[in-house]
Structure 1
């Protein structure tokens, strides 16, 4: 735990000292067009690492909100690495919103074995070690249909290859049939969005319903349906402080391979948990943050959340439980006018889980 605190403080001072940008007099006035910040992190799945995060702001026309091209990369002490690029664009007077993404994660997982209550041959002190190599490509387009409603969809392709690095890791991968999985599919999305800012909302709400399907004809190894519901609400209190709330439900069809199921810890639901360890056909979670305004540059954040996994897979691997985590963080505005922040979070969850998270995006 002390190592996490030291890394947390180091990251804060590094980002404050090394964040840089080029001033512009164009449509994004009085802000940095380009910002670069170092990434010092520690997480349950990837060890301790050093890397970078970059944010480039631009506008496609004068009536559109700021668009953002982001990229990041990291290498860690357990030989894990990642590299990703995301473009979040606002087009045609903010009537079209596009998100394009490509990323590669090579993760050497290591965690204590989770033993079901009725398992006699399971050693809870044994380390599970396995490698997971993931490539993900996705495209999403949303269209303004009036009165704060948006409709659209997109497609995705991914490949996951997992390999045990010790006997317990082999058993973990084999039991979950995770050795190799390709997925490809399409999704629809309908949302209601009144947020005042997409980078750091201070007021407003967003609720989105997104059904999707993995389709063999597109290159997936299986056909499966999925439904995700994501609801968020933001309130400004004490003039500049923010209360942020999120509820998430993610349910996949029975028989979906484990690699395509709902994972605790993925997409920052809940922070503090290894995204490669706890899974099930259904995930339900709620979390809250209080963002305390120190200045336009600095904020302090406290957060907590509850989550539950359900379904046959969750019961089979004793993941059918209630999970909770809490933590604190710091935000440093690297592009203040657009409210783009570099974030540092420490999270502690039940069952001995913890993690340190860094990035140029809010958790939600």
Structure 2
């Protein structure tokens, strides 16, 4: 189990973030308003990367009149590890003036490593032979790889409704993929290699390039840390070979979030629920592009498990979180209690050369997680919040999570 511990300079960060804030007192067209920048210093450690040092900045601002324009947000990471690895990312949700257009982006460049455990919800923690695939490993298998990601979507508002339609472009390039594990006994294939051989993908490099059709309902009062209402997102992604994909495929993403106010006088006291489904509709995906825990846009799903702990051709995920203030009047300090659950399918058998893959269906096994956390709000107006959570999963899996803004 890969555990991560993030240690941030909270006192330094809180003070610096507030002093770095610049607010516009009056509205002027064609001007960015109430810009706030929080340059969080970060120190992190986990077995896969060693120690990591760098910055985890966050910015929020208004692209129009705050009276009719939602708050835009950007979060990033710039981290270097003692194993000479780099983790760079930038993710944003930008609302243009009057909320008429939304830009959603996810840009990453990783030189990193991560364990994989095989496909489906039943994979064990320890390395062993897969009883359903003779000659193939099951359990923790370390991988080195590089990832270049460029996702950008543009959504246009439909009249005065909360509904948006739009298109996006999505590019993932995985390269320099290497499996490493001390091999004992008879020669066996890694899960990654066995799957890619059965589907006809290269073992060390592959590309997924495609366009998406997106439908969004945006009713949240604030996208960064909502107090009320709901959000829905349907994305159908088409990855044709003529756009550069290693093989043609299509996927469907369903994402719904609802926020129930429990106390109208203290809107920070609420119940938040999140449901997500990610499905392979046609064709084949490379191994590292299959739906996996912790690989949503902000990497927030599956607290209690390491990123990539579960992976499969189809994924269903649900989470509920009770958020509440810890002070009678102020909103500076808060807490949360949460539960989550995920289920993954295996892979469809192929007639092509290579190991036979055993199909595991959705909901044959469910992997739950649960935990609690503390909240420190460093900017009440923009709800900029530092979150610290500890979560538990099954079979000894657990993790500590320190982030900027609410989990969802």
Alignment TM class, shorter chain as reference: 0.7 to 0.9
Does structure 2 retain, via aligned residues, the 8 Å contact 1:130–1:170?
Answer: no
Shift of residue 95, structure 1, vs aligned partner: 1.0
**Does the alignment pair 1:301 with 2:336?**
yes
Q: Which position in structure 2 is the counterpart of 1:316?
A: 358
1:190–1:209 contact (8 Å) kept in structure 2: yes
In structure 2, relative to structure 1, the CA distance for the partners of 1:114 and 1:194 (3 Å cut) is: farther
The structure whose residues are more often helix, as a share, is 1
Question: How far apart in 1 are the matches of 2:53 and 2:10?
Answer: 12
Report the structure, 1 or 2, having the larger strand content. Answer: 1
| Number of corresponding residues | 357
Q: CA deviation at 1:33?
A: 1.8
The answer to whether structure 1 residue 245 and structure 2 residue 273 are counterparts is: yes
Matched with 1:290 is 322
**In 1, are the aligned partners of 2:371 and 2:390 still within 8 Å (CA)?**
yes
1:218-257 to 2 correspondence within 5 Å?
218-238=243-263, 239=266, 240-252=268-280, 253-257=282-286
8 A Cα contact 1:42 1:356, kept in partner: no
2:308 to 276, 301, 307: 276
Seen in structure 2, the aligned counterparts of structure 1 residues 50 and 344 have a Cα distance that, compared at 3 Å, is: farther
Q: CA deviation at 1:147?
A: 2.4
Q: Distance in 1 between matches of 2:132 and 2:189?
A: 21
State the Cα deviation string for residues 282-302 of structure 1 (Å, max 9, x = none).
101111111121242222122
Which whole-Å CA distance do the structure 1 matches of 2:150 and 2:26 have between them? 29
Looking at structure 1, the residues matched to 80 and 126 of structure 2 have their Cα atoms a distance apart, in angstroms, of 23
TM-score (norm 1): 0.86
Which sections of structure 1, spanning at least 5 residues, go unmatched?
none
CA deviation after TM superposition for structure 1 residue 45, in Å: 5.1
* CA drift at 1:199: 0.5
Measure how far apart 1:48 and its partner are. Answer: 4.9
Structure 2 match to 1:206: 231
Report how far residue 237 of structure 1 moved.
Answer: 1.6
Superposition map of 1:4-23 within 5 A: 7=5, 10-11=7-8, 14-19=9-14, 20-21=16-17, 22-23=20-21
Find the aligned partners of 1:263 and 1:123 in 2 and give their Cα distance: 18
| Distance in 2 of aligned mates of 1:103 and 1:27 | 35
Distance in 2 (alpha carbons) for counterparts of 1:286 and 1:45:
27
Task: Report the equivalent of 1:147.
Answer: 161
CA RMSD between the two structures: 3.1
Specify which of 53, 74, 92 is matched with residue 56 of structure 2: 53
**Counterpart pick for 1:262 among 288, 291, 294:** 291
Contact 2:71 2:222 in 1 (8 A): no
Change (3 A) 1:262 1:246: same
Q: C-alpha deviations, 1:83-103, integer Å up to 9, x for none?
A: 112332211311111123321
Aligned residue number for residue 193 of structure 1: 218
How big is the shift at 1:105?
A: 1.9
Instruction: Please say which of residues 155-164 and 83-92 is displaced more in the overlay.
Output: 83-92
CA deviation string 1:53-111 (max 9, x = no partner): 11222322224222223321223455543111233221131111112332112222247
**Which residue number in structure 1 is paired with residue 71 of structure 2?**
66
Q: Match of 2:247, SS? A: coil
TM-superposed deviation, 1:132: 2.2
- 2:135/2:189 contact within 8 Å kept: no
Question: Within 5 Å, which residues of 2 pair with 1:78-117?
Answer: 78-110=83-115, 112-113=126-127, 115-117=129-131
Secondary structure, counterpart of 1:275 in structure 2: coil
CA gap 1:219/1:28 in 2 versus in 1, 3 angstroms? farther
Shift in Å, 1:311: 4.1
Gaps of 5+ in 2: 28-32, 116-124, 197-202, 350-356
Q: What SS does structure 1 have at the residue aligned with 2:386? A: strand
C-alpha contact 2:346 2:359 (8 A) present in aligned 1: no
Match of 1:181 in 2: 206
CA contact (8 A) 1:41 1:356 kept: no
TM-score under structure 2 length normalisation: 0.77
